[in-house]
């Protein structure tokens, strides 16, 4: 009788988790860059809500594009910090299990 796996393998789960972490970091950096770019918009009177909304969408699109291409580097630093923390946690757990 052949046994087949029902769920994703450990490697697949790790890759999915890594992708989610990287996507979350890019989204966070995009939101941060959007806030940094807001003051740079030209705020002229008389454009109305449509003009304001259009500028807002433009700023958001620019921030998202910049973040997806590395942005200011906050996203990659956050990913590296999370990975280092996980590595340190695994190392300390291994040392505790062996009694060192």
Q: Would you list the domain boundaries of the chain?
A: 17-98
Q: What is the pLDDT of residue 74?
A: 85
pTM given for the model: 0.65
Q: What is the pLDDT of residue 20?
A: 93
Alpha-carbon distance values, 89 to 16, 20, 58, 82 (Å):
20, 20, 41, 10
Average pLDDT in the 45-69 region?
Answer: 80
How far is C-alpha 32 from the geometric centre of its chain's CA atoms?
11
């Amino acid at each position: 009788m052949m046994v087949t796996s029902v769920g994703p393998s450990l490697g697949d789960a790790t890759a999915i988790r890594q992708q989610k972490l990287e996507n979350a970091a890019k989204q966070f950096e995009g939101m941060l860059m959007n806030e940094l770019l807001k003051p740079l918009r030209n705020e002229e009177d008389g454009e109305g809500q449509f003009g304001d909304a259009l500028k807002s969408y433009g700023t958001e699109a620019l921030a998202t594009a910049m973040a997806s291409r590395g942005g200011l580097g906050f996203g990659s630093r956050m990913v590296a910090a999370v990975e280092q923390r996980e590595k340190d946690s695994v190392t300390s757990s291994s040392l505790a299990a062996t009694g060192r």
